[in-house]
Amino acid sequence: MSRLQTADMKILVVEDEPLISSFIEKGLRAEGYAVETVDRGDKALERARLLDPDLVVLDIMLPGLDGFDVLGALRASDPELPVVMLTARSEIPDRVSGLDLGATDYMVKPFAFAELSARIRAHLRAAEARGQRADRLQASGLTLDLLRRDVESQRGGPVPLSAKEFALLAYFMRHPGQVLSRQQILDGVWGYAFDPRSNLVDVYIGYLRRKLAEAGARGAVETVRGMGYRLVQSRP
């Protein structure tokens, strides 16, 4: 990707070690990217909403919210955003957790900038090849528009949802037919740790089901006893 092609590409770097952050920022700016850096997880979510980056480089061990929490929140709002996790935590369980939560890639410190840059180019090319980012999700007779922030039911028209209900439905629509535990839903939608004994998920599932039923999509979210919930893949 040439300097001309990278000129409009925005990258958010989330890293609390100043030397590493500065090193990455200078290297990416030299390649023509527009780069912004933050050093806290909570700031990362705020800046991601305002900046609308094309890619995020994300550390795991951060103050405020850790990288896994940030990743979950990013995925809830934008399932196609490329996220490259960059961390000193090299253990297999950490890598698995990051990839299961939706990380696009996972690099371990220390790292070579040339490799990081190459991976960033690859993920940006892949995003461009699929039309940058998917603007819509479709499942179970529902269409969710991520840019307009609205939902349509094939049977009942518009489905008015609150911001959190929208994020909850988006999370289900990214995993149609997959059984999601309450903890997975908490991590993916709320983005930070709640007591797993909380009934927060059940309450919002109830809100969402009621509104979907009113729009003709009754039964779209079903309970799998002892395991969690899932969005059925199609409606009869």
- pLDDT at site 195: 63
For the chain, helix, strand, coil in percent to 5 are 40, 20, 40
- Range 128-136 average pLDDT: 61
Question: Distance between CA atoms of 230 and 109, rounded to whole angstroms?
Answer: 37
* % of the chain exceeding 70 in pLDDT: 87
pLDDT in tens, 14-40: 999 999 999 999 999 988 888 999 999
Q: 25-34, 40-49, 125-134, 192-201: which has the minimum mean pLDDT?
A: 125-134
- pLDDT at site 193: 52
CA-to-CA separations, 124 to 1, 56, 137, 221, in angstroms, rounded? 9, 11, 20, 33
Q: Which amino acid is at 160?
A: P
Does the 3-129 domain belong in CATH 3.40.50.2300? yes
Whether 90 shows a pLDDT value over 80: the answer reads: no
- Range 182-210 average pLDDT: 80
| Mean pLDDT for all residues in the chain | 84
Question: Distance between CA atoms of 108 and 91, rounded to whole angstroms?
Answer: 10
Per-domain residue ranges of the chain: 3-129, 136-231
3-12, 43-52, 182-191: which is most confident: 43-52
| Helix ranges restricted to H, 64-216 | 67-77, 92-100, 113-129, 163-173, 182-185, 200-214
What dotted CATH number matches 136-231? Answer: 1.10.10.10
Q: Which of 141, 226, 217 is nearest to 179 (CA)?
A: 226
Q: Which tops the pLDDT comparison, 129 or 27? A: 27
pTM (2 d.p.): 0.56
Q: Which of 10, 138, 14 is nearest to 73 (CA)?
A: 14
Q: 148-157, 161-170, 202-211, 227-236: which has the minimum mean pLDDT?
A: 227-236
Q: Which amino acid is at 104?
A: T
* Residue 236, both tokens: 């009869």
